[in-house]
Structure 1
Amino acid sequence: MKNAFTLIACCFVTLTVLAQSPKTITPLPGIDTLFNRILKDQIAAGFSVAVVRGGEVIYSKGFGYRDVENKKPVTPNTLFAIGSSSKAFTASLLGLLRKEGKLTFEDKAISLLPQLRFYNEEMNSQIILRDLMAHRTGLSRYDFSWFLFNTANRDSLIARVKYMKPTAAVREKWFYNNFMYMAQGMIVERLTGKTWEQNIKEKFFNPLEMTRSNTDINAFKNDSDASLPYIVAGENVIKKIDYYNINGMGPAGSINSSANDMANWLKVWTSGGYFKKKEILPSSYVHEAASSQMVMEAALPAKHDDVFLANYGLGWMIGSYRGHYIVEHGGNINGFSANVAFFPSDDLGIVVLSNQNGSQVPVVVRNSIADRILKLKELDWNGEAKAAAEASKLAKKSIKKAPVLKISSSHPLKDYLGSFENPAYGVIKVTLENNELHTVLGDEKIVLKHMHYDVFDPKSIDKNGLVDTTQSNLMFNFSSGVDGKIQGIGIFLDGSEKPVMFDFKPEIKIRSVKELEKYTGEYTLGKAIVKVFLKGNVLTVFVPGQPEYETETMEADTFNLKALKGFSVKFEVTAEQKVSSMTFIQPNGVFKAVKKS
């Protein structure tokens, strides 16, 4: 009887355990097979994905490799650079500051950040904080300004905005501009007394238990479960490239995170601002950020009748996905692509992170998941992306490049040396090494290969000294002045219709007052008397009826007129170091003035 009771008791315990542990139901049955096919078809190194629904992570997994060479697999905790998916974090910091009463989104941008100045006074007086957040300042991307002329100094970067000519009037047209998100990060720093990086960690990473996430390139690279960056090169070869240090532009896209960490960020947005019943963001801000603030483009239905609309909120893009409201933002930085999305009406969030440059993988995976969870007729997003990539390759192959004209340059190589500056971008310093022109763009060492005339093709040099053989789209076209000397470099940047000009920046030589005194005096120019005198330690030229022109030393006896671009004066000096005359060199001619005894 005792044994029977024991048997019954055991059965009862077993049944109880079974009742408490129902069979796990896979939320996305068979999708792993699709994801592995996507990995192969898109020639991707790896990707990680997490899905949030009902406030819970219902799926998270890694595919492929974070390190292809050493066959190290991607996990849901593997770190990836999320690029511009960082923008929603930066804008949210401003949402918190508004709640604290430290600003409004209607405040003038320059009043919140005094070192920020725009191209003209009209822009200075009109642009408000909301314009920065919704990309509606009228400034186009100017991405090469920070990408090729990188610096950790945010004040130095923001100073370039003053020289960025608008493409449209304020709020007239949507233009994506990373500088405006850096400016928001600087506003946060000014009003809190802490760095943008500290604010991100304290306001989001810590309370959201995003323990894997960081904003530092070195912490990223040294992490034991970090993915390496890759591109697809040549004939479908997965090639590792260097990490890119975003530096001062960090508020626009320097967050590194994992799928599992980003799932916690998505929980905030699908719940209306909460994480584990604690408010992270005001619900009013969540609603506003996920609402249209600016029309991006017409975005009429194209290939799919039920996919349309493209508006911008505050750090988020908004569209209509097959009858469902979608809020999302992509992210791309060297070797990485990401997409973070949520569907407010469906309590659904999806994040896809990949270590493939400019990849379609995040969107293909996101759409494939959304179709299944939202019970839509499944579309072959992978097949469409594969076909588009193949068509793009064929189109590139069919383009016949113009033959390279083997015509020598107009100057010896030494004449191209020096610094060339554009205030909206930065300085290009051209040097001579091993009888070739070199420069540095971003963190890359560049050799300038001569094409024809004064046109040079910039090619990157890797750590092993190997030169990239692919033709660049950034040809350097050197130009000469009326005196025949090299005066600038024209480069087509950021889709500009005209080349962006980098003007020769003479090395400023410090001349003593005693050295400058010999140039002073009166010079006869026709019937006019030109006076050359010292104002402090600055040689100054006065032509009757014109302002006084301060000069700066260009070379031995030649001086630039600071206020007049392309104007200079050259003094003729005898063997006895006596000045006999001066020549005005300007775009409309050369004019000689003789020194009075």
Structure 2
Amino acid sequence: MKKTAITLLLLITVLLNAIAQTPEETLHHKLDSISKQKGLVGFGVSVFSPDTILYKKGYGYADKENKKPYTVNTVHNIGSISKTFVGVSLMKAVELGLFSMETPINDILPFEVIHPSYPEEQITITHLATHTSGIQDTDESYDRSYVLENPKNVDISIYDRETAKYMKNLLENEAMELGVFLHEYFSTDGSMYQKKNFLKTAPGERYTYSNMGAALAGYCIGVASGKSFSEFTQEHIFDKVKIKDIGWSYNSIDVNNFAKTYSDTSIAFPRYSLNSYPDGGLCTSVLGLTKYAQEMLNCYYGKGTILKQDSAKEMMIGKLTKQQYNSKKEVKDNYGYFWEHNRNNIIGHNGADPGIMTLMYYYEDIKLGAIFFTNSNVIDNPEAAKLVQASWNAIRAYQNEIAK
């Protein structure tokens, strides 16, 4: 009887502790448990409204070899979430009168971009911003965008076979200015030019996600403004939001805040940059991106400073048709101007590159957003992908709980 009584007392204590947990404690417990599993070296999370950061915390390691913790101030590249900064910059350029969304890109560029199957059809800024330009990425050419910081110091023998093969190709890549790289890809006399850099469909006809199209949009902004794209974003976005650690190059951020990024086998990747940097080369932290997301949501609700409300809404509202998706079904996942906007009013973007994955989404029905960063490779890595999904499920449960 005594043993039974003690067992019941322990059970009641556990149940009472579970009941007493706040939503924040429950979320932390779930994320802390995930961080102790094999698959993610480090990750950071924030949950926010347009005005308040409700939860922010890092887990695991930014540098596992030196036991350096991953925090919300840890910095690494954020992949394709960078494209949302192209979208914001496009709308700012329109507000400044540099061009309209219907301006043909050949009215801006110093070299011509001609669709080989439709040479008379003009590619416009809108086509680039909605991924309907007829431009597509080709692996053999697009991979030349990735440039290792110190290729002579890279030992590919420490990686698994597939990673080593990929790294070997990158060792041959050279850094190029954005305009030079795009000229080599799009001009008929360029070293990377191929007819298959374009679809067989006309501009405006079909949606096909294109990194090169996004990079080209960023370059158009730079040419039209008389500044580099990085200078334009610094002046019109970074300085306005007062984000401390953010930039398109390692030199613009305190090196002590950078994370190492890791392969499937948790071996650190060498640092790399992108010749096509507007499409995925931005570096910042969970906290830095949260401040940016809050500002853009405030613009959407008419309370921001970077864009007028009409501009923010035009940028974020989905614009694609079933025909452009080549689908007979209802379009679930739509695009504004480099911003995703699905039928459930979820707004944002995600990103993935070697050694990182990032998520930034806002749920308009409950007016709460979330950001998730990891410095671990998730592409073609099922174990890591499951842990990312589990983390996001925990975040969503927290959001729904506090939104009641």
TM-score of the superposition, structure 2-length normalised? 0.76
Distance in structure 2 (CA, Å) of the matches to 1:228 and 1:293: 38
1:206–1:168 CA distance, 2 compared to 1 (3 A): same
State the Cα distance separating 1:334 from its structure 2 match: 2.0
State the Cα distance separating 1:250 from its structure 2 match: 0.9
What is the root-mean-square deviation in Å for CA atoms of aligned residues? 2.7
Is residue 338–residue 362 contact of structure 1 (8 Å, CA) maintained in 2? no
SS at match of 1:185: helix
Is residue 41–residue 62 contact of structure 2 (8 Å, CA) maintained in 1? yes
Residue identity opposite 1:203 in structure 2: H
State the Cα distance separating 1:364 from its structure 2 match: 4.2
State the Cα distance separating 1:272 from its structure 2 match: 3.0
User: Which aligned pairs between 1:171-210 and structure 2 lie closer than 5 A?
Assistant: 171-210=204-243
Q: In the alignment, what sits opposite 2:42?
A: 46
State the Cα distance separating 1:363 from its structure 2 match: 4.9
Residue identity opposite 1:365 in structure 2: S
- 1:294-321 deviations in Å (ceiling 9; x for gaps): 25575979xxxxxx8122221122224x
Do residues 282 (structure 1) and 308 (structure 2) align?
Answer: yes
Distance in structure 2 (CA, Å) of the matches to 1:299 and 1:351: 33
State the Cα distance separating 1:269 from its structure 2 match: 2.8
Is residue 90–residue 251 contact of structure 1 (8 Å, CA) maintained in 2? yes
1:104–1:363 CA distance, 2 compared to 1 (3 A): farther
State the Cα distance separating 1:257 from its structure 2 match: 0.7
Q: In the alignment, what sits opposite 1:62?
A: 58
Identify the structure with the greater strand proportion.
1
User: Which aligned pairs between 1:343-382 and structure 2 lie closer than 5 A?
Assistant: 343-357=363-377, 358=379, 360=385, 361-375=387-401
Please, which runs of 5 or more residues in structure 1 have no aligned partner?
A: 1-24, 302-307, 377-597
Residue identity opposite 2:285 in structure 1: S
Aligned counterpart for 2:297 among listed residues 254, 266, 270: 270
Distance in structure 2 (CA, Å) of the matches to 1:129 and 1:195: 17
Q: In the alignment, what sits opposite 2:268?
A: 240
Aligned length: 337
Distance in structure 2 (CA, Å) of the matches to 1:80 and 1:316: 21
Aligned counterpart for 2:109 among listed residues 113, 123, 127: 113
Is residue 296–residue 304 contact of structure 2 (8 Å, CA) maintained in 1? no
1:310–1:273 CA distance, 2 compared to 1 (3 A): closer
Do residues 228 (structure 1) and 260 (structure 2) align?
Answer: yes
State the Cα distance separating 1:274 from its structure 2 match: 7.5
State the Cα distance separating 1:204 from its structure 2 match: 1.2
Please, which runs of 5 or more residues in structure 2 have no aligned partner?
A: 1-20, 145-172, 188-193
SS at match of 1:264: helix
- 1:535-566 deviations in Å (ceiling 9; x for gaps): xxxxxxxxxxxxxxxxxxxxxxxxxxxxxxxx
Is residue 115–residue 134 contact of structure 2 (8 Å, CA) maintained in 1? no
Do residues 259 (structure 1) and 266 (structure 2) align?
Answer: no
State the Cα distance separating 1:279 from its structure 2 match: 1.4
1:364–1:137 CA distance, 2 compared to 1 (3 A): farther
User: Which aligned pairs between 1:142-157 and structure 2 lie closer than 5 A?
Assistant: 142-148=138-144, 149=173, 151-157=175-181
1:347–1:254 CA distance, 2 compared to 1 (3 A): same
Identify the structure with the greater helix proportion.
2
1:164–1:49 CA distance, 2 compared to 1 (3 A): farther
TM-score of the superposition, structure 1-length normalised? 0.53
Percent identity (aligned): 22
1:297–1:84 CA distance, 2 compared to 1 (3 A): farther
Is residue 79–residue 353 contact of structure 2 (8 Å, CA) maintained in 1? yes
- 1:266-298 deviations in Å (ceiling 9; x for gaps): 1123223489x5511121122122211225575
Distance in structure 1 (CA, Å) of the matches to 2:61 and 2:49: 27
